Amino acid sequence: MDVQKTLDHFPVLSLAERDRRWQVARQLMDASGVDALVVLGLRTRENFDAWLTNEALGGIVVLPREGEPMYITTGHIRVLARHDCVGGKRERWVRDVRVGDVSRNMKSFFLEHRLGAARVGVVGLDAVFVTEPLGVAPHAGWTQVTEALPEVRFVDVSMAFANAVLPRSQEELVLLRRAAAIGEVATRAFVEQAVPGARESEAFAAVMQAIYSLGGNVTSPTMILRSGPESLGWYSPEWLWMGGEPRRLERGDMIAAEIFPTYGGMESQQQLAVSIGPATPTQKMLGAVARESYEAGLQAIRPGASFAQLCELMQQPLRAAGCWNIGPLVQTVPVIYNSAQMVGAADQPGLAGIPLPPVVPITGDFELREGMVLAMEPNALKDKERVCIGGTVVVTADGCEELNELANWLIET
């Protein structure tokens, strides 16, 4: 991919893409035997409401089998942005946007469309998504909805909807490639800050500056970052929440990060592993194992292959080297399916006495299809030392397309 050429343009989605998405959703209605869809966006990571509306109002979408959808939000200030001289120039997908009480607006729309006794699919109701294990709907709010519509039969269709969304269209892939190109620039900015004496916060800030200056965005958890000679934790740096001086980098450290550059709602991911100074023998070994796992994954990705088989092939190099993995080796984007985690940790002598969680099994299996997006995340650990590499990959008609390059290797400074 020509990064600079990709970054020269700021593409947007067309109304044809809107119509395609609504058609996909209505095909799901037919397959699920429902008359409408209720898609709960609210504060979720994946923002499936935005997939139907091309706006992120943090609300709820109701799409009937026929006619246009309704978008409910409690954020009136967000909606008013449609009506100033800047926001008024943007093409909007949904005209019926209602602000305020969710149950009242739901009841009104359902009665208007003769859905008061319908069978309706709900996205986000049950505990189904990896990032929303307790479900999306708040108990009190959803109770108000069901009490307002006592004759409606709500059924959860979350996984069916997620599976329908996973294969990306050609228009979506144009936006995704720009997100990944932003990730390349952000990776380079991160590496430039990975020097002895620099604070973790400087690398963090460099990534954010690169992403936002290029018209990108980030999704939760904004950025994962960890530095030091050891690495067991894997989340946002603790100084973001607990205060204290961000850690200063030292020679021999590994500074690692997971970044989530998005553009136009399309998320890419890059796994960064940078040694401060020449890599140690253990770091080199872990980098080689992670790269072998990455290459095994590339060879396995093709339409018709099973996700479970892809995960198993990526696990084999770690098993052969006596390594373990703390996080998934590969996941879908959006994050619906993960490979198994904590595999082999119990066999590491250097982890004795640490309260390790059990192995987290693969989230589920499915058949890879053209247009699906995968985040390659091969991470190899020996005791407490860790290397994780990888970028974003798209399943193509005859294999896969790599959208990133810099993050696919252990980087030495």
Burial of 231 (0-12, 13-18, 19+ CB in 10 A): buried
**pLDDT bucket at 44, cuts 50 / 70 / 90:** confident
- pLDDT mean over 210-221: 96
Strand order across the beta sheet in which 392-396 lies: 330-332, 373-376, 392-396, 399-402
Residue 361 has pLDDT above 80, yes or no: yes
How many angstroms separate the most distant Cα atoms in the chain? 68
pLDDT for residue 125:
87
Tens of pLDDT, residues 59-99: 999 999 999 999 999 878 888 888 899 988 999 999 999 99
Task: Give percent of the chain with pLDDT exceeding 90.
Answer: 88
Contact yes or no for 269/259 (Cβ under 8 A): yes
Q: What are phi and psi of 172, to 5 degrees?
A: -65, -40
pLDDT for residue 78:
84
Q: Angle at Cα 376 formed by Cα 373 and Cα 378, nearest 5°?
A: 160
pLDDT for residue 233:
86
Contact yes or no for 375/269 (Cβ under 8 A): yes
Residue 132 has pLDDT above 90, yes or no: no
Contact yes or no for 41/56 (Cβ under 8 A): yes
pLDDT for residue 136:
85
Tens of pLDDT, residues 270-322: 999 999 999 999 999 999 999 999 999 999 999 999 999 999 999 999 999 99
Tens of pLDDT, residues 136-181: 888 899 999 999 999 999 999 999 999 999 999 999 999 999 999 9
Tokens of 381: 């650990």
Domains plus CATH for the chain? Answer: 3-165 (3.40.350.10), 170-412 (3.90.230.10)
Residue with tokens 């299809």: 369
Round to whole Å and give the CA distance between 341 and 337. 12
- pLDDT mean over 178-207: 98
Could you tell me the end-to-end alpha-carbon distance of the chain, in angstroms, rounded to an integer? 24
Number of residues that make up the chain = 413
Q: How much is the mean pLDDT over the chain? A: 95
The candidate with the shortest Cα–Cα distance to 41, out of 10, 72, 81, is 72
Q: Is the pTM of this model over 0.85?
A: yes
Q: What are phi and psi of 220, to 5 degrees?
A: -60, 140
